[in-house]
Amino acid sequence: MTEPLAAPEQNGKPKRSTADRILRASALVFAAHIALKLVSLVQFRLIGAACDPVIRDIFVFAFDGVLMTLFFIGEEALGPAFLPVFMAEKEKEGEGKAWSFANTVLSVQSAIIAVAVILVFLFPATLVTITTAWEKKGANPLYMESAPHYIKYMVFGLFGLSIGSCTYMLLNGYKRFFLAAFGDAAVKLGIVIALATAYAMKVEMKGSTAATVFIIGAITGSVFKLITHAIGLRDKLRFFRPRLDLKDPAFRKFVALVLPLLCGILIAKVRDYFNNIYVMTNVDDGLLSIGAWGRKIYQTIGHVIPYAVSIAMLPFFCELYDKGKKEELGAMLTKSSRLIFLMCAPIAAGAVVLSLPLSQILYQAGKFSYHDCELAAAANSCFSLVLPFYALEYVLMQAFFSNRKMIAVSAVGVFFSFFSMAIAYVCVIQLKFTGVDALIAVALAFTVTRTLKVITLASIARKFLPCYPVKETLSFILRVIIVALGTGLAAWITRSFYESIVLVSEATRAMDILVKAGLDLILSASAGAITALALTWILCRSELVEIKEWVSRKVKGRLPKREAKAQEQVAEE
């Protein structure tokens, strides 16, 4: 990332550059999201080990398909529209005026949540019938017997989750990134605690017992999220009060920003639901949840660093835009995009090759078999191909949001969402793909359309920001592709040699799986990593040098601070 030419002093101390502040904030979000992803993977392992394929499917439908879909519609629309307006109000009109706007948003949001919860509670069976293929002849009757009960009560967790999306942005507005992001880990923690308690009490995860465990876990997790955010905003709680001023100019600005975003996000959620839930309910029992298990691996890799950087970037990008510093914003966008793309491309190649041993280590236990791991690995391999573009999109979107380019983002998103659904529909519904073929078709539909979407957004960004110079960008991408191909080839050769000697598929006991698949993963990943570093040093040395110089500056910058602190302590003594 670019550094300003000079770091002005503030209160006698050097003031951090925007890049330094973004990276510091990113580190905090990164730490919180490491916790989130670890808890999430533990959750998936526990569910896979304890539940049969039908129960897994119903959980994925209720939690991911209904609860989290409703939550993300609000979360993804609210944040990009809310934060720029809140920060502008706080800067220009004062904190009290900004909170008046925030309280109006919270009041309207609460009313919408209440309506959604009441509708799901009153008509759960209707919702299941409309949004799945489980009522069709031949489907396991347990789906229609249990799924309505799950969503009828689990939906009450929407209150904590959705109000938490607004408090998340408020915390980011005050640059309190860690507790904001850690709230998401708290949601997963609620389910993990419920599952762990059931396991300790030797509760069999079947029928109404499994439903009770999952419902309690989801609702508890949503409460944990609100508590975490309340701790982060403890000194601001005095500002919270019910308010409904629909004529507030700030609220009207927010509505003007949120409506086009909402249209695009609604279509995106329809796409995700159609591809990942509805389409997969047309195929074999258990395939719905296996697809979710496969997505979890690439999502974990894609979220941890790129998402952390993007969340930290938005407040600072908004500041640069408001101050008219487009040159600095464009340069920062270009540099951060290159570094993230360079980092994620070889990781993606490694994830494609090593999906099976990774799936075994993460998931193979109890009722989640080696064959289930093979299916999850096939899905993950196809999803992982999109990782560099998936990661790049996080950063790129912040540039659009900070420049208030909501309509362009929404229009592009809508087009490629329909494109993705069309591919999945033709392959699974019309051509009757089943098993691994269905998983691969849905995954590649996402990968191809998401890649094209990001390329389109990058082209549009060049029209309003000085970013992504064509020749340099194409040269960089070509060099990174070579690095990624070399990484994947080295990992594949190593894995092939290892598995010709060790029969990994025969491992069934937990320790055998950990040793055989773990050694497979370590050796192959090490070969890939060494190759990636060597090729990066040869082909992308300038980017590596820049990272090294930045780290060196950080280390050197800390030494004088430590010495000064030590001198202060001596003086006090």
Q: What span, in angstroms and rounded, lies between the C-alpha atoms of 402 and 145?
A: 47
Average pLDDT over residues 431-454: 94
Residue 262 lies in a domain: yes
- Cβ(173)–Cβ(105) below 8 Å: no
Residue 566: per-residue pLDDT:
44
Task: Determine the 3-state secondary structure of 14 from DSSP.
Answer: strand
Which pLDDT score, from 0 to 100, does residue 565 have?
Answer: 47
Angle value at C-alpha 221, between 217 and 227, nearest 5 degrees: 145
Average pLDDT over residues 145-167: 91
Residue with tokens 């800067």: 91
pLDDT at 153: 95
The separation between CA 50 and the C-alpha centre of its own chain, rounded to angstroms, equals: 26
CA distance 196 to 217: 10
Residue 199 lies in a domain: yes
Whether residue 469 lies inside any domain: the answer is no
* Section 345-366 average pLDDT: 92
pLDDT for 443 = 94
Name the band, by pLDDT with cuts 50, 70 and 90, for residue 365.
Answer: confident
pLDDT in the model for residue 425:
94
pLDDT digits 0-9 by tens, 392-441: 888 888 777 776 677 788 788 889 999 999 999 999 999 999 899 999 99
- Residue for token pair 């860690």: 178
Most confidently predicted of 260-269, 297-306, 502-511, 547-556: 260-269
pLDDT given for residue 134 in this prediction:
92
Reported confidence tier of residue 3, pLDDT bands at 50, 70, 90: very low
Res 28 pLDDT > 70? no
The answer to whether residue 19 scores a pLDDT higher than 80 is: no
Q: How confident is the model at residue 17 (pLDDT cuts 50, 70, 90)?
A: low
Average pLDDT over residues 47-58: 90
Helix (H, G, I), strand (E, B) or coil at 283: coil
Per the domain annotation, does 42 fall within a domain?
no
Distance CA 96, CA 92 (A): 11
Q: Which of the residue ranges 345-354, 447-456, 546-555 would you say has the lowest mean pLDDT? A: 546-555
Q: What is the pLDDT of residue 553?
A: 54
Question: Averaged over 456-473, what is the pLDDT?
Answer: 89
How would DSSP label each residue in 15-39? PPPHHHHHHHHHHHHHHHHHHHHHH
Q: Which residue has the higher pLDDT, 9 or 30?
A: 30
Q: In terms of pTM, does the model score above 0.85?
A: no
Count of beta carbons in the 10 Å neighbourhood of residue 206: 15
pLDDT above 50 for 1: no
Mean pLDDT of 370-378: 93
DSSP secondary-structure letter at 13?
Answer: E
**CA angle centred on 137, ends 134 and 142, rounded to 5°:** 45
The 3 state secondary structure assigned to 505-542 is HHCCCHHHHHHHHHHHHHHHHHHHHHHHHHHHHHHCHH
Using DSSP's 3-state secondary structure scheme, residue 10 falls into: strand
297 inside domain = no
Per the prediction, the chain carries an average pLDDT of 82
Strand partners, 365: 368
Element (H or E) spanning 9, and its range?
A: strand 9-10
β-sheet bridge partners, residue 10: 13
Cα 167–Cα 170–Cα 172 angle in degrees, nearest 5: 115
- Answer yes or no: is 563 within a domain: no
pLDDT at 516 over 80: yes
Residue 58 has pLDDT above 60, yes or no: yes
- Centre a 10 Å sphere on the Cβ of residue 549 and count the other Cβ atoms it contains: 11
Range 14-41 burial, b when 16+ CB lie within 10 A, else e: eeebbbbbbbebbebbbebbbbbbebbb
Query: How many Å separate Cα 454 from the centre of its chain?
Result: 16
The pLDDT of residue 349 is 96
pLDDT above 50 (res 375) = yes
The total of structural domains in the chain comes to 1
State residue 318's pLDDT score: 63
Strand partners, 394: none
Task: Answer yes or no: is 400 within a domain.
Answer: no
What is the Cβ-side half-sphere exposure of residue 515, based on CA atoms within 13 angstroms? 9
Domain range for 199 is 53-275
Q: What is the pLDDT of residues 481-493, one digit of tens each?
A: 999 999 999 999 9
Q: What is the percent of the chain where pLDDT is above 70? A: 84
Per-residue pLDDT of 307-339, as tens digits, reads 655 555 555 666 666 677 778 778 878 888 888
pLDDT of the residue at 125: 94
Task: Check residues 494 and 269 and name the one with the higher pLDDT.
Answer: 494
State the pLDDT confidence band at 121, using cuts at 50, 70 and 90.
very high
**Which of 36-40, 53-57, 180-184 shows the highest mean pLDDT?**
53-57
pLDDT at position 330 is: 81
Are 186 and 226 spatial neighbours (Cβ–Cβ below 8 Å)? Answer: no
- Would residue 481 count as lying in a domain? no
Query: Please, which residues have CB within 8 angstroms of residue 12's CB and are 6 or more apart in sequence?
Result: none
Q: Tokens for 554, please give them.
A: 């950080």
Q: How far apart are the first and last CA of the chain?
A: 42
Cβ-based neighbours of 557, under 8 Å, separated by 6 or more: none
What is the residue-wise DSSP string for 364-375? -BTTB-HHHHHH
